[in-house]
Structure 1
């Protein structure tokens, strides 16, 4: 069992309960504990502060947390739970409270919109802020209307591949290792997607499905354009130590022209998880800015997206 728990951030909304189901399955796959965290709303925090300030013993010691009751009813007596399930109520702003508690987490899972989000929002402000600042990988599970995998919600996970957005020269080892570890516990493939910026041939259809190539297929690449051939070679070199570390994980490689975020969004339609780096590794490890690719994929992906921070200077 992993000592680091999977944290599910909940607020009682249907979006957060989808994320809780995903986190439950992730904790089972990793053999880790599940910590369910709810950041109390402002009125509850104000009540607690007022009671403390006035020392009013006639008032209840704690403000009722209806989310706790709902989670207890949802999970109470249920089978298929990880060993070690805890619930905590947190105070403070949502991004800051989750940033603090995420310091010791295997990953932090949350919905793409919270209870207070407008229906038209693709990504809520708290989800965006947590993905940009948490010291651990953050998995954002899209709401049902945006997900093409809604039928898999009961299972909590899709059976598809893990898709890794890779810039061979810049993506942190932390990001690559996370993708391989997730594929290993799921018994699935890592599909590595890299893009290159060249004008496409007149006969090329940009929106057509891209081809994926297993490592053994790289020997015969006479038909590949030079940029594609070089990208595949760079991928192969960069992935070599991870193939050694995870010998049972099958790898598919794709090098395609065009926009990286757009390709990853397309791949998310059938993926169990899309993994991207939080920001350019030449920035500081705790940079508050999220990269353009991660930002776009979070807003438009059809399935769960893991945003992995760069925690070490390894590139």
Structure 2
């Protein structure tokens, strides 16, 4: 997958253009190509089918594609482009067309809502469908109203915020951890690992209080941490060891926190460049069509970009 392209889904909406910019910088960061995918509206697809079936040579061969013209204009003004950029006009339904386009991609990048979305919706049906079913990681870039004040669509700068990884040491698939560490390496930034437990550490602890971040070298067994927290940090350390060895240049911070894991990740998303979550536990889901409750909640409520990573390897 090292040379696999980044795919940006566009429909001309402001949300999708934010996703296009995020995808452009991601492709540059990873040194790969950029594919801009647009599923043509029904009117254009019907026109193409009618012209083909009637063989009406009096009609123009090409149907109007204003989104393609808009994308080309935006990319022409971009400060830098990947070496390979391709625009694909697709037919079929939006989820199916994008699923096919993103097969084998490094990631598919989408806006949280497209044209025709209700303003009250936190995430559109197409974004939700692709995050639940696509064969590659799906990044959802939230619209401006959902972003934290300090967050932006993204930056090409390599130090643009930490990568936050939601980790259940016993259940999160290796592909999820590998994606987070590869993203941290590409950005030159820290991977902050967040795990949550239900037992409060002490009667005086407030669940909504900020959690403590601990570097791996600070895990000396001094007995101050409560057993649940201490055991979770140990489990994290053991689980992270092969990935730290593979990406030694990536700084790691570990946090074991009381409370709901989705709530903690949503809070962390306010200052994160990207939140990484697994789609589901590979041995608990029924086929590839299910998305876990944590991924679902984070996708709907995060204040910055979220990537939902499926189980990619056969032996996961």
Is 1:272 the counterpart of 2:280? The answer is: no
Q: CA deviation at 1:2?
A: 4.5
Identify which range, 32-41 or 75-84, moves more after superposition.
75-84
Structure 1 residues 274-283 or 105-114, which shifts more?
A: 274-283
Aligned residues: 315
Is residue 78 of structure 1 aligned with residue 71 of structure 2? Answer: no
1:19 paired to 2:47: no
Per-residue CA distance 1:272-295 (angstroms, 9 max, x = gap): 100000011114695111110000
Structure 2 residue runs without a partner (length 5+): none
When residues 108 and 23 of structure 1 are mapped into structure 2, their CA distance, relative to the original with a 3 A threshold, is same
Supply the distance in 2 between the matched residues of 1:294 and 1:37 (Cα, whole angstroms): 25
TM-aligned CA distance change 1:202 to 1:150, over 3 Å: closer
Aligned mates of 2:134, 2:231 — CA distance in 1: 34
SS in 2 for 1:3: coil
Structure 1 residue ranges, 4+ long, deviating more than 6 angstroms after superposition: none
The residue that corresponds to 1:185 in the other structure is: 186
Q: Structure 2: how far apart are the matches of 1:221 and 1:182?
A: 33
* 1:240 counterpart = 2:246: no
C-alpha displacement of 1:3:
2.2
Note the C-alpha offset of 1:222: 1.5
CA separation of 1:81 and 1:149: change in aligned 2, threshold 3 A: farther
Contact 1:184 1:248 in 2 (8 A): yes
Instruction: Give 1:141 shift.
Output: 0.2
- Verify: 1:110 aligned to 2:110, yes or no: yes
- Does structure 2 retain, via aligned residues, the 8 Å contact 1:144–1:150? no
* SS of the residue 1:32 aligns to: coil
Contact 2:122 2:300 in 1 (8 A): yes
Q: Distance in 1 between matches of 2:113 and 2:139?
A: 13
In structure 2, the CA distance between the partners of 1:221 and 1:171, relative to structure 1 (3 Å rule), is farther
Query: TM-score, with normalisation over the residues of structure 1?
Result: 0.95
Stretch of structure 1 that moved more, 277-286 or 168-177: 277-286
Q: Structure 1, residues 179-210: CA drift from partner, whole Å, max 9, x if none?
A: 00000000000100011112453311111111
How many Å separate the matches in 2 of 1:233 and 1:151?
Answer: 32
Secondary structure at the aligned position of 1:192 is classed as strand
